[in-house]
Structure 1
Amino acid sequence: MKFVLPRPAIFFLALISISTPFTLAETAKPNIVFIMADDLGPGWVDFDGSDPKINTPNLQRLAKTGVVFTRAYAAATVCSPTRAACITGMSPAQIGLTTHIPGKAGNERRAPKGGPRDADSLKHLPLDLPSYARELKKLHYVTGFIGKWHLAGEGSIATKDGVVNSDWHPEHYGFESNIGGCAYGQPKSWFSPFKNATIENGAKGEYLTNHLGDAAASFIQANHEQPFHLTLWPYSVHTPIKGPKDLVKKNGGNNYLAMLESLDNAVGKVIAALEKTNTLENTMIVFYSDNGGHKPTQWLADKKGSLLEGGVRVPMVVSWPGVTKGGTTCDVPVTSMDFFPTFVHAAGGSTTEITQLEGLDLKPLLQGAEKLDRDALFWHYPHNRPDVKYYMGSTILQGDWKLYVGHGVKADALFNLKDDPMEKNNLLKKHPELAGQLRGKLNGWLTKVSAKMPKPAQAQPRKK
């Protein structure tokens, strides 16, 4: 199969490869590759003890050379806010983008009878917020984006090509090239023609994940002589669940397993390109997911959209030769905002003047530290999503204790995750003092970040 980059990307890659001078100190900087799957929950990759039918050997290879994070969290229960948090280092609540950007304009979830309505949420990522890509670009990195963006306006499903406003595409947030990033939250087509204005079509019927994997390999090959950063966010394994025909057949007709294997093959293409260009030993590779899975995890409660663990816990591994000790695990809770300072500090930059940041540098954990200087993690999802058990609410996680505040939609709850990983036993009445302390910290954080709260229930019209 022959892969062809879009003409603007070819011109750009050729230009930067011949015109940008780099010092020896700069070439020693680590390359950074950030791969984020879509809707992939724990239990669906080889490195976290998954079903033996799952075939993800390339992710398993990363685990053998890196650190698996057993308590990795997404900043939100759905995709757009997590993606915004990764780019900016700010929580969705601070950004004001707290739910997925709707593919259909005005797609607000219906409030339960007598219950609060959705809070307002932004429909695109503001251009004036921090971006790790901009910071890396300042540090003389070549920056590229490939895959799903979903931060560029509502109503994408009504477009012919996924473009609502191109001013909100990745190239305006510090990425020097963009393949695939537009307003789409899911692909219009998994097979070429892709009906996406930011992707040049491949051969008829070519599978999108394969196409994006080839684009990632081409980016690495074109830029390996200077420090580079690649954000590769495949659309997989989002619905509609459709895998490439050869892998569907290989997996006994199972489209989901085929999609997982195709995703892993894309990771393999990245690794192969790094090996071919002799850059693997100087590259940090992060694999992560944007929220819990739409396929449930056996040992976690609920799924995507929920503030229980199944909605926010995600698979994560980081491989960084010379820094990570292969085959190790870390049980310290980490989250989406941590990638910004981790990437910028690894590149030799500083974040001291970016006061909005809520994340922490993960390098100490990658080197074997047993904790971070962080008291708690917070979530805020002021939206209705009644297809899961615990949706509208705010939560705080401190150690093994997790408090859920339901904003009048669901009853408040206190869980001990060590004793009750499935979050079945509400200990609120048994530990009122602890619950009060956690509630105070949660309210303090909501105030600090100026979180938008649910709107009051609409008054019901009187019957005549």
Structure 2
Amino acid sequence: MKLRSLCNFLPGLLLALCTSTTTLAAKPNIVFIMVDDLGPGWVDFDGSSPEINTPNLQRIAESGMVFNKAYSAATVCSPTRAACITGMSPAQIGLTTHIPGKAGNERPAPKGGPRDAPSLNHLPLEMPSYARELKKQGYVTAFIGKWHLAGEGSMSSKDGIVDARYHPEHFGFDSNIGGCAYGQPRPWFDPYRNGTIKNRKKGEYLTDRLGDEAVAFIEANKDKSFHLSLWPYSVHTPIQAPKELVKSNGGDKYLAMLESMDAAVGKVLAALEATGTLENTMLVFYSDNGGWKPTKGLADKKGSLLEGGIRVPMAVSWPGVIKPGTSCDVPVNSMDFFPTFVHAAGGSTDEITQLEGLDLKPLFEGKDKLDREALYWHYPHNRPDVKYFMGGAVLMGDWKLYDGYGTIPDALFNLKDDPMEKKNLLSDHPEKADQLRGKLAKWRESIGAKMPPSVKK
């Protein structure tokens, strides 16, 4: 190459290299920790009881933003998990209830009431996946923990594998440890009887193991843009924990499980620090639905469309973007993670027309609203064994309507004045109830929600 040509070539080459380096550095690592059945009030950062010991979750909260009105897309786990992966509501996906542990485990309708609407028993492969979108942006991706989106009848299987075609590795994750059809551990201690986890040490606790696997992934990929979905089985039943932790928590197994879960989060934080990747990592902590244990100050718990069943703890840390020690009162939900992750990675969601979530970055940067008028829920299923019945809900501002789909009475609440949802204002504000009922019906129609037989849209 001639000298003049070389001189003309070098600036362009240097610019391209600098641009490439800058782009890579600008891509944050994304760690999404979603625990199981943990309601607000059971972690340190939301004013929990003094006996709860979750210092690592407190650290995430202090270094970032706490979301005081974080919601799950459903009252139970499988539909929320599907919503997180796809950015679509469970109603649009067609997966609206938890996938049964035993095949054919259909719950009967209340006397004289409608039977359940149909629901899928796996997440369809053609659905969008944030992991696939992150792969397009050059990320290495891993799934570690509970999936519960791959077929029914897992409790009758020998290893939790019902249909491996629907495991995480077929949704854009480069590796999968723990993700199968199981909705709960079987058992909590090694040997795990989980076909996606290699037994390592007899008696080892599953939460500890998943934390170790998360550390190994971070260490192996410290020089790359990486995404980790760490979805521990904690704190789902059966309530079990290592003996020494139970003893140190005064014999309380649930508190011991919380401490173990927090310790796994601590391993992740330590690994991010040790590898020098913490300062370029968006770290999300979230739960898949309301608590197995009731939340003080909120009505009901997991399985209910009242606040205790769909409100969840959430904290996000992202150095350089989120101001430490901040909080947000804007309602957010499970579908919002898809666009948030993809946009942060430099990707686009313009062609994903079925997307229902919104990018949370404006809130991270201190804005106090999103371009969304309301949040919606659709649960066309009966669970009389735990006294929960089908219904839908819509939240707009301080107003929340519960539509009982003819199984139980409708209700209208003002959450600002009545956070425990004790006073039904339906007869006091019929126009507001009609407005919200109309919005809920219009939303169901727009996304093709399946209704129970004999229940009109």
TM-score (norm 1): 0.93
- 1:220 — aligned with what? 218
- 1:37 — aligned with what? 35
- Distance in structure 2 (CA, Å) of the matches to 1:410 and 1:422: 18
Report 1:276-315 matches (<5 A).
276-315=274-313
- 1:19 — aligned with what? none
Residue 314 of structure 1 aligns to a residue whose secondary structure is: coil
Report 1:309-458 matches (<5 A).
309-387=307-385, 391-456=389-454
**Compared CA separation, residues 67 and 387, structure 1 to 2 (3 A):** farther
For residues 366-392 of structure 1, what are the alpha-carbon distances to aligned partners after superposition, in whole Å with 9 as ceiling and x for unaligned? 111111010000000000023556531
**Compared CA separation, residues 388 and 433, structure 1 to 2 (3 A):** farther
- Distance in structure 2 (CA, Å) of the matches to 1:246 and 1:230: 29
CA shift, 1:27, in A, is: 3.8
Paired positions, count:
436
- 1:92 — aligned with what? 90
CA shift, 1:447, in A, is: 0.1
How much is the aligned-residue C-alpha RMSD, in angstroms?
1.0
For residues 265-291 of structure 1, what are the alpha-carbon distances to aligned partners after superposition, in whole Å with 9 as ceiling and x for unaligned? 000000000000000000000000000
- Distance in structure 2 (CA, Å) of the matches to 1:389 and 1:109: 12
- Distance in structure 2 (CA, Å) of the matches to 1:443 and 1:301: 25
- 1:134 — aligned with what? 132
- Distance in structure 2 (CA, Å) of the matches to 1:402 and 1:258: 35
- Distance in structure 2 (CA, Å) of the matches to 1:244 and 1:215: 19
CA shift, 1:337, in A, is: 0.1
- Distance in structure 2 (CA, Å) of the matches to 1:369 and 1:275: 29
- Distance in structure 2 (CA, Å) of the matches to 1:58 and 1:75: 26
Report 1:1-16 matches (<5 A).
none
CA shift, 1:249, in A, is: 1.1
- 1:461 — aligned with what? none
Are the equivalent residues in 2 in contact too, given 1:306–1:389 (CA < 8 A)? no
- Distance in structure 1 (CA, Å) of the matches to 2:222 and 2:88: 30
Residue 30 of structure 2 aligns to a residue whose secondary structure is: strand
- 1:239 — aligned with what? 237
2:374 is matched by which residue type in structure 1?
A
The counterpart of 2:120, out of the listed 118, 122, 144, is: 122
Q: Does 1:106 align with 2:104?
A: yes
CA shift, 1:345, in A, is: 0.4
TM-score (norm 2): 0.94
- 1:268 — aligned with what? 266
Are the equivalent residues in 1 in contact too, given 2:382–2:388 (CA < 8 A)? no
Report 1:58-77 matches (<5 A).
58-77=56-75
Are the equivalent residues in 2 in contact too, given 1:303–1:388 (CA < 8 A)? no
- Distance in structure 1 (CA, Å) of the matches to 2:424 and 2:133: 44
- 1:174 — aligned with what? 172
The counterpart of 2:194, out of the listed 193, 196, 199, is: 196
1:262 is matched by which residue type in structure 2?
S
Residue 216 of structure 1 aligns to a residue whose secondary structure is: helix
Residue 198 of structure 1 aligns to a residue whose secondary structure is: coil
Residue 42 of structure 2 aligns to a residue whose secondary structure is: coil
- 1:16 — aligned with what? none
Specify every segment of 5 or more residues in structure 1 that has no aligned partner in the other structure, as ranges: 1-21, 458-464
